[in-house]
Every structure is written in C-alpha cells, then in structure tokens.
Chains A and B, each alone.
Chain A
C-alpha cells in the first residue's frame, strides 16, 4: 500500500523542472535555449508541477518531455496533438503543452494540428520551426524555402513552403504568435502569453538547427540585421521597426506599405497593432516574403498576431454531460439494460 506524502506548496525554481536525464541535442542547437526559457517560466505560471503535462511527437524537438520534470509523453510522429486532445477532453484541469516541430505538426501531423485548432482545446502548441528534418539527418521540411538543396533534393526542392501562421489563422486558431530561440526575453514573454490564453495557442518558435540548416533565421536573429528585418508587435502600438525605430508599416487601403518616418509620415500614420482584429491578423501573418527573393519585402513580425476568445472543446463537452445529468439524472445502468420493451418467461 502506498501512502500519500503531502508536499507543501514550495516555491519552485527553473531547476526543479529539470530531470536527471542527459540532454541529447547537438551542442549549439536552438532547442537548449527553448528548454531553458520553458523551465524558467514554469515556476511562475501558477500551476502545480503535477498538473503540467508535456506531450510531444517525433523529431529532435520531441525529446523535450524527457528533460522536463513534469508529466510527459514522447509519443508517435504527428500525433501529439491528437493524444493531447483526448487528455484535455478528459482532464480539463491539466495544463497541457504540445511540443512539436515543422515536420511533426505540419507534415505527418498536419491534419491533427488544424483540427485541434478549430476545436480550440485549451492547450499550448510550441512549434519549433527549424525548416529542416534534423532527426532523419537533413531532408527538406514543409517549411523549407523553395529550391532548397538537401540530401533528398540534390537539385533543389520543388515544394512551396507552408506559412505556418497563415495556416493556423486559416484553421481559426484563437491565439497565433511567433518568437525565436535567440531572444530569451521575448520567448519567455510569448510562452507566458501562450499559457495565459484560454484556448489553443499556436506559438511558432524559430529554432536554429546548427547541424543541418545553420543560419536559417540569421537575418532575424543577428544583431547586424535583426533591427531592419524584424518587427516586434505590441498591442495598441504602431508597427515600427528599424535600427533607430525610423521605419514603419502603413496601411494604404488594404495594402501594407513600408514607410520612412520623418518628413512624410509620423507614427500616427502607421498601422496600429490590434491583437483582437481578425482581419488585420490575417494580413499580418502574410508579411512572410522570402528575403532572398526579389519583390515586395517586409520585416518579419514577431509577437502575438491574433488572439480571440471562443469556447473550448473540453468545456462544452463537460457542459453537455452536466446538462444531460441535470435533465435526466445520473445514468441508471439497470434502466439502460432493461430498455423500453421487455417480456417475461415464466419458470
């Protein structure tokens, strides 16, 4: 017989969320930073450790649960979302985190991802996007840029890549955001926001795979290019970027245009970010040009693109059960077995 040991509610630190398992990612992998930021925010989210569950699929990122001292499941390729759906449907009080990659969530598990988003389970999807298949040693992924030369595409890939956030918006995700491994503060903020959102949070995290796709996001993460190439979204604030905050994005009718601030335009002329504006959110996720290609070029936005409130699947499911019980009383097995019409055979 086991006896329960009552643990007082201690103040935990990031260390309490680390396990005794040796971390097996390649040295320099962006996953380390993401792990560190997740461990950092966990003590502060107000959820007891035992109520946190991390479910992953297959891929480098999906090793994540082994390194988190919470409940966790390292499942099968693409299905973490579906497993998490069943868990959340039955145990709504748990804080469920899905750790997945671009291949896991957008290729083999694409179907489950969009269906989870439309159902709006209150879970957090952390999608580590490294634009490559790392675990299988370097084939292109559904987010790799066109014409990418990899082991499986020696003449360049023919696939057109997914725009993950546009896909999430298309599936009616109730929280859509982007962050990066190389900006710990922003990542911590975005992780916390994802947690705080009631509903499915889709957080894309740019993650450098220094072995098979090194520098994929360099222009967004390196000091020299970051200010010009990234746009950090803040609710209620104008879309400003640039080394000296001298540029902005203005809406010319329905078209976003990059403008210089100063003579012709001031911050007042700019697009004001509204996380709750669905239509603007739809446009924001489309600021997604390939910086190496000619044509219209925008900085890449980071932050919360869109957030809305909509009923969560597990809550409505629980409500239906409660309503059924309120209406008919708790199920009576004998009544069910008997059905409506019976007959007697005398002895």
Chain B
C-alpha cells in the first residue's frame, strides 16, 4: 500500500521497557543505524540500579533516549516525540517526558491486568482504555503475540526464548517507520549469535517481521525520513564516553611511549573503562582488577614509580576511599591519573544516575594542603581529549591529576570525527638517566623551571634514592620536620600546580559575544544543554554567551577577565552548587547558580527560562 513520506528535521525517540526487555540493545542498534547515515545524534541511556528489579514494576524500567537530527544536536532532547512503551510501568515512568501530541507505541501485552497491577495502577484502570492518553497519538501493537507468530516454525524454541526476541520486533518496526535498512543489525546479530544458529535465525526473522508489520498494517500511515546532518566534513564513528576515555588513555600511552597500567576495582558507572582497556593487551596495556579501591590506586602508584603511566578509575564512593593514597602521590610527586565517573551521592547514592557532585571532593577532599590538577570532560567524544590531556599534564608536571566525567556522558553516545594517530601531539616524557658530571649526588626533589622534580625509576644505576609520605626536605628529598621547610614545601607544591596554568590553553567562549548581559559558565556534562540554550537565546537576539571550563584546577589565566565582561554569571550544575563556590572564592564574582539534583541532565528548556528570568530581574 502507498504511504505518505514526511521529511523531519529533528526526532526524539525513547525506548522504554522492563530491564529484561532489551531496551538498551534496541536503542544502541538504532543509534548505530542512525549514525551510519551521517545523521547527528545524542543518546541518554537511563537504567535502574538493580540488575533485575522485579519484572513489570516501576523501579525495573529501563529506558534509552535518542535524539537524531539533520541539524547539529548537543543533547538527547528534553521531551520525546515518540515513546515505545513495552509495559505499563514504562508508560507510567515516561508519561511526563512525552511532547504534547507525541506518539506512543504501546505493547498491549504489557498492559494486561498483571502488568497494570505491578505498575501500581488502581484496579480497573488501564491508561490505554480510559481516555487519559487522548492528548497523544497512541498505537497499540501486540508485540508479544506477533513475535510468537513470527516464530511459529521455530518449534525447538520455548515460549520464553521466543518472547526474548520481542525487542527485535520493535526495532524492525521503528526501522520501517524511519525508512531504514536492517543490515547493520543483521551483521550485529550474526556476530553475536553466529554459533547459535537457531537463535540467530529467529532474531533476524522477528526483526524482519517487525519491519513487514509496519509495511502491511494500516495503523501507520506515514513513514519518516531525517536527512544527513550538516557536520564538518570527515570520517565519523559513533562513540560512548567511557569508550572514548579508554581510547584516550591508549592514545596517551602510544604517543608518550609509556605503557599504561590500570589498577582499579569495579564500580558503576566506571567499570566499562576497565572492560575496554582489558581488551587492548596488544598495546601493552596492563589492567589489574585489585582487591579494593585502595589497592587500585596504590598499585597504580607502584606502576608510576616504576616508570609506567599509572591510572585508576572509579566513581564517587571509590574516590572517597582513594583519598589517602592521592595524598601520597602528591608527596611523592609522581604522575598518576585518577578518573572519577561521577554518579549521584552521597554514600552509595544513585549508582546509575548522573551528578556533578564530586568537584569539591576533587578540589579539597584530602587531608593536609594537597593540591592536585582537576580536568573535566564535557561530551562523550570529549572524554578522549580530556583523558589525553590529563595524561599529558600528569607526566609533564609529575603530579597526580583528577579527571572528572559522569554517568551521563560515560554512557551517552554521539558521532565522533576521530583523529589520526599522527595528528595527536606527542607527549614528551623525560626520565633521569644518570648523574651528570657536576652532580655528586642525586637530588630527587631538585626542581626545574616548571617546579617539577626528576622522574628517576628503579633500575637506573647511581640514582638509588628513597621517597615517601613524610614531609620532604626540598632538593634532597630527605625526611624533614623543619618548620620553615614545611611552609616552603606546602607553598611549593601549590605553586607547582598553579604553574600548570602556563602550559594550558586560555579559556575561550563557546558561543556568544565577548561582552554581554549573561555568561553561562559550565563544566563537564552540562555542555550540550548549555550550548543549546545559549544558541537559542542568541537566536532571539539576547546578549548571552557560553564558556565551558575544561581546566578546573588551575583555571586558565584569563578566566577572571572573561567573567568581568558580563553583567551576570549563571552557573548551571547538576549538584547543589560547587563550581560556583570556587568561582566566587577565586574571583569575587556574584555568580548565580542553576542547580538540578535529580539524577538527570539539565534540559535546554529550563535553562532558557532561567536565563530569561535572570534578564528580567531589574
């Protein structure tokens, strides 16, 4: 039958279902399919903390939001145009995030009495029947029944196994709806189930059945198309934040000539970096799953002491456990990379939800005067550059460095115009190889113009020396309790970190005029929302600019100047106000905060209103 075909610019789709329904996989497949067409996109996977929360319940809902567009996109979108709800709980959780008039594709089987009860709908109430969804365009599909039917001839598969292919039906249907080919998913399934022929064939069968269903049913009158985005020319791939971060480490290892050692302990949402790096042994990367967080960082210190680049990865609670060892690394003045994929806190908090609440911990959370550079990543692909840069600073300034990412960008995906290896600026590393003629004795804490001490590793004849956590005498490195020396060393360690500001780029504005009414100042994963809001406000002719800080400690030298060019400064953060404290403290600026602490990203819409309100005041 003939269908209308409609061209769309921008679509936000969300796949939501029980955590056992395979929504993450469905979303990822649709993402790859979209990316390969050169359409710009951003994703937001949102999953429960429980591996398998009770089936059908609200806590068990897992979602995958994807925005794709022929224009540039910077966020996964505030509200969805289309929600795929595999059960009643998925609808309940996501109802408030559908645009008015948006589409809902509901799997009827997930709205039977049992599922309605599990989702805590009152007795006898079914949202699909009671008119409460009249403001939306609802299509009911019996996914379960259609899947079982498609697999009729697969007699050796039980009902449970057949039902497991449900998500492929949905994926096929959505592929049809957006005019897509099935190839990349068929390739994926072939790789995944290559050895299990029946499972492979049944999945492909259901995928095709979903596609054909779209073609034959009369429920859908329109197919949609989104054109390629106007992105900078080049070769692109799709990338997730943790994957990019791991690759940034591999690249730093390759371009510095230092083998990477990762000492870590599994923790959500950082574990994927370990998973990724453990696969890259052919790059000489050693991954060590330690007995706890403390052993993770301690082993990394041991590796750096031995002349490798020691890295440890973690999330909030793990960061807390590592603090004493971070202090040791500051005293030893050796390179070390500490990666914190932040999540909702305090304590165990919200393990699978995002937050930016460890900035003050990164800044101050250690005993003693213990300064350490802090760097942040702002988008999934930016995790690559941030990791590379953090590694550079660590080895060139002989210091532990904290790299902050968070759950949102760690699991989010976007297209990435990946660099060529040769275009990555090599990271120069100098080891002290021996004593020169005018050096009668090795001085482990003698500093160069950057205030950096030499890296002398065991195995180097003539440089045998002792270091440790006790206060050092400058130059000799001998233990010293001298009062003047302590004052001098505290100041020197601070000056050494401050001096890094001479070796990092100046702060630039991401968008907007150099002087104006409001500066939106952000760091980390709020980048996409702030950028989108700033662009929208600028399009309305408002004097709003956006600066996004990568180098949080030390700040770029010109940051204060930029702040003073604006009447007002608004600092959006997914925390209770942390960067704002540091900015006020350092620059005496009366900045205002926009703080959302709900475990989810800030939306463009709420920022636009916040800025407008700010502009209206006085």
The interface of chain A, by Cβ under 8 A from chain B, is 1-5, 7, 19, 21, 48-53, 55, 58, 65-66, 68-76, 79, 82-91, 93-94, 111-112, 115, 317, 320-321, 323-325, 327-331, 333-334, 336-339, 341-347
Least CB distance from A336 to B in Å reads: 6
> How many angstroms from the CA of A76 to the CA of B470 in the assembled complex?
9
Residue numbers in A under 8 Å from B615 (CB-CB): none
Least CB distance from A221 to B in Å reads: 30
Evaluate contact between B291 and A111: CB separation under 8 angstroms: yes
Evaluate contact between B36 and A343: CB separation under 8 angstroms: yes
Evaluate contact between B434 and A83: CB separation under 8 angstroms: no
Least CB distance from A5 to B in Å reads: 6
B298-318 residues with Cβ-Cβ distance < 8 A to A are: 298-303, 305-308, 310
Q: Which of B235, B247, B436, B464 contacts A70 (CB 8 A)?
A: B464
User: Which residue of chain A is the closest to B454 with respect to CB atoms?
Assistant: A2
B366-411 residues with Cβ-Cβ distance < 8 A to A are: none
> How many angstroms from the CA of A83 to the CA of B461 in the assembled complex?
22
Known contacts A50-B462, A86-B300, A330-B282: does B237 contact A79 (CB below 8 Å)?
Answer: no
> How many angstroms from the CA of A282 to the CA of B288 in the assembled complex?
30
Q: Which of A1, A93, A323, A341 contacts B459 (CB 8 A)?
A: A93
Known contacts A50-B461, A115-B291: does B36 contact A341 (CB below 8 Å)?
Answer: yes
Evaluate contact between A331 and B458: CB separation under 8 angstroms: no
B467 contacts partner chain A, Cβ-Cβ < 8 Å:
yes
Point out which of A70, A93, A111, A321 has the most chain B C-beta atoms below 10 A from its C-beta: A321
Evaluate contact between A2 and B434: CB separation under 8 angstroms: yes
> How many angstroms from the CA of A347 to the CA of B38 in the assembled complex?
13
Known contacts A1-B436, A321-B284, A345-B228: does B295 contact A115 (CB below 8 Å)?
Answer: yes
Evaluate contact between B305 and A87: CB separation under 8 angstroms: yes
Least CB distance from A305 to B in Å reads: 24
B488 contacts partner chain A, Cβ-Cβ < 8 Å:
no
Evaluate contact between A345 and B468: CB separation under 8 angstroms: no
Evaluate contact between A347 and B299: CB separation under 8 angstroms: no
Evaluate contact between A94 and B36: CB separation under 8 angstroms: no
B439 contacts partner chain A, Cβ-Cβ < 8 Å:
yes
Q: Count of A-B contacts with CB under 8 A?
A: 232
Please, could you name 9 A-B residue pairs with CB atoms under 8 Å apart, sorted by A?
A: A68-B466, A76-B298, A85-B298, A89-B286, A91-B458, A334-B420, A337-B420, A343-B237, A345-B231
Known contacts A2-B433, A65-B468, A66-B479: does B295 contact A87 (CB below 8 Å)?
Answer: no
Q: Which of A52, A84, A112, A341 contacts B32 (CB 8 A)?
A: A341
Known contacts A71-B464, A79-B294: does B38 contact A343 (CB below 8 Å)?
Answer: yes
Evaluate contact between B292 and A74: CB separation under 8 angstroms: no
Residue numbers in B under 8 Å from A330 (CB-CB): 282-283
Residue numbers in A under 8 Å from B38 (CB-CB): 343-345
Evaluate contact between B462 and A5: CB separation under 8 angstroms: yes
Interface stretch of the complex, out of B6-14, B130-138, B203-211, B324-332: B324-332
Evaluate contact between B461 and A333: CB separation under 8 angstroms: no
B320-346 residues with Cβ-Cβ distance < 8 A to A are: 324-325, 327-328, 332
> How many angstroms from the CA of A24 to the CA of B251 in the assembled complex?
46
Point out which of B184, B299, B421 has the most chain A C-beta atoms below 10 A from its C-beta: B299
Residue numbers in A under 8 Å from B436 (CB-CB): 1-3
Point out which of A90, A320, A336, A342 has the most chain B C-beta atoms below 10 A from its C-beta: A90
Least CB distance from A275 to B in Å reads: 28
Point out which of B261, B281, B421 has the most chain A C-beta atoms below 10 A from its C-beta: B281
User: Which residue of chain A is the closest to B442 with respect to CB atoms?
Assistant: A2
Evaluate contact between B237 and A2: CB separation under 8 angstroms: no
> How many angstroms from the CA of A48 to the CA of B198 in the assembled complex?
62
Known contacts A324-B282, A338-B418, A345-B232: does B464 contact A50 (CB below 8 Å)?
Answer: yes
Evaluate contact between B231 and A85: CB separation under 8 angstroms: no
> How many angstroms from the CA of A3 to the CA of B184 in the assembled complex?
57
> How many angstroms from the CA of A331 to the CA of B260 in the assembled complex?
13
Known contacts A333-B254, A337-B419: does B233 contact A347 (CB below 8 Å)?
Answer: yes
Residue numbers in A under 8 Å from B239 (CB-CB): 339
> How many angstroms from the CA of A327 to the CA of B468 in the assembled complex?
41
> How many angstroms from the CA of A6 to the CA of B305 in the assembled complex?
23
> How many angstroms from the CA of A55 to the CA of B184 in the assembled complex?
53
The interface of chain B, by Cβ under 8 A from chain A, is 32, 35-38, 184, 228-229, 231-239, 247, 250-251, 254, 259, 261, 263, 280-286, 288, 290-292, 294-295, 298-303, 305-308, 310, 324-325, 327-328, 332, 418-421, 432-437, 439, 457-470, 478-479
Evaluate contact between A5 and B299: CB separation under 8 angstroms: no
Known contacts A7-B461, A86-B263, A111-B292: does B282 contact A329 (CB below 8 Å)?
Answer: yes
> How many angstroms from the CA of A175 to the CA of B466 in the assembled complex?
28
User: Which residue of chain A is the closest to B288 with respect to CB atoms?
Assistant: A89
Known contacts A3-B436, A87-B302, A317-B286: does B235 contact A82 (CB below 8 Å)?
Answer: no
Evaluate contact between A342 and B291: CB separation under 8 angstroms: no
> How many angstroms from the CA of A290 to the CA of B35 in the assembled complex?
71
Least CB distance from A16 to B in Å reads: 10
Residue numbers in B under 8 Å from A334 (CB-CB): 420-421
Least CB distance from A130 to B in Å reads: 21
> How many angstroms from the CA of A330 to the CA of B281 in the assembled complex?
9
Evaluate contact between A74 and B466: CB separation under 8 angstroms: yes
Least CB distance from A154 to B in Å reads: 30
Residue numbers in A under 8 Å from B32 (CB-CB): 341
Residue numbers in A under 8 Å from B299 (CB-CB): 82-83, 85-86, 89
13 new A-B contacts, CB < 8 A, other than A19-B466, A51-B459, are: A65-B468, A83-B298, A86-B300, A86-B302, A90-B307, A91-B458, A115-B290, A317-B286, A321-B285, A331-B254, A331-B283, A333-B250, A334-B421
Q: Which of A73, A91, A327 contacts B466 (CB 8 A)?
A: A73
Residue numbers in B under 8 Å from A321 (CB-CB): 281-282, 284-286
> How many angstroms from the CA of A115 to the CA of B284 in the assembled complex?
24
Q: Which of A53, A55, A89, A339 contacts B303 (CB 8 A)?
A: A89
Evaluate contact between A341 and B238: CB separation under 8 angstroms: yes
> How many angstroms from the CA of A168 to the CA of B184 in the assembled complex?
53
Residue numbers in B under 8 Å from A336 (CB-CB): 247, 250, 280, 283
Evaluate contact between B234 and A345: CB separation under 8 angstroms: yes
User: Which residue of chain B is the closest to A84 with respect to CB atoms?
Assistant: B302
> How many angstroms from the CA of A324 to the CA of B298 in the assembled complex?
26
Point out which of B38, B238, B285, B469 has the most chain A C-beta atoms below 10 A from its C-beta: B469
Residue numbers in A under 8 Å from B325 (CB-CB): 76, 79
Q: Which of A4, A83, A84 contacts B433 (CB 8 A)?
A: A4
Evaluate contact between A74 and B468: CB separation under 8 angstroms: yes
Evaluate contact between A50 and B460: CB separation under 8 angstroms: yes
Q: Which of A86, A323, A331, A341 contacts B298 (CB 8 A)?
A: A86
User: Which residue of chain A is the closest to B312 with respect to CB atoms?
Assistant: A86
Least CB distance from B473 to A in Å reads: 11
Evaluate contact between A51 and B281: CB separation under 8 angstroms: no
Residue numbers in A under 8 Å from B184 (CB-CB): 341
> How many angstroms from the CA of A342 to the CA of B38 in the assembled complex?
9
Evaluate contact between A325 and B37: CB separation under 8 angstroms: no
Q: Which of A48, A90, A343 contacts B37 (CB 8 A)?
A: A343
Evaluate contact between A89 and B261: CB separation under 8 angstroms: yes
Least CB distance from B522 to A in Å reads: 27
Evaluate contact between B328 and A75: CB separation under 8 angstroms: yes
Residue numbers in A under 8 Å from B36 (CB-CB): 341, 343
User: Which residue of chain B is the closest to A112 with respect to CB atoms?
Assistant: B295
User: Which residue of chain A is the closest to B434 with respect to CB atoms?
Assistant: A4
> How many angstroms from the CA of A234 to the CA of B421 in the assembled complex?
60
> How many angstroms from the CA of A343 to the CA of B290 in the assembled complex?
39
User: Which residue of chain A is the closest to B232 with respect to CB atoms?
Assistant: A345
Residue numbers in B under 8 Å from A331 (CB-CB): 250, 254, 280, 282-284
Least CB distance from B182 to A in Å reads: 15
Q: Which of A88, A324, A347 contacts B281 (CB 8 A)?
A: A324
Least CB distance from A103 to B in Å reads: 16
Evaluate contact between B298 and A82: CB separation under 8 angstroms: yes
> How many angstroms from the CA of A49 to the CA of B263 in the assembled complex?
28
Evaluate contact between B35 and A86: CB separation under 8 angstroms: no
Evaluate contact between B467 and A74: CB separation under 8 angstroms: yes
> How many angstroms from the CA of A108 to the CA of B327 in the assembled complex?
17
Evaluate contact between B281 and A83: CB separation under 8 angstroms: no
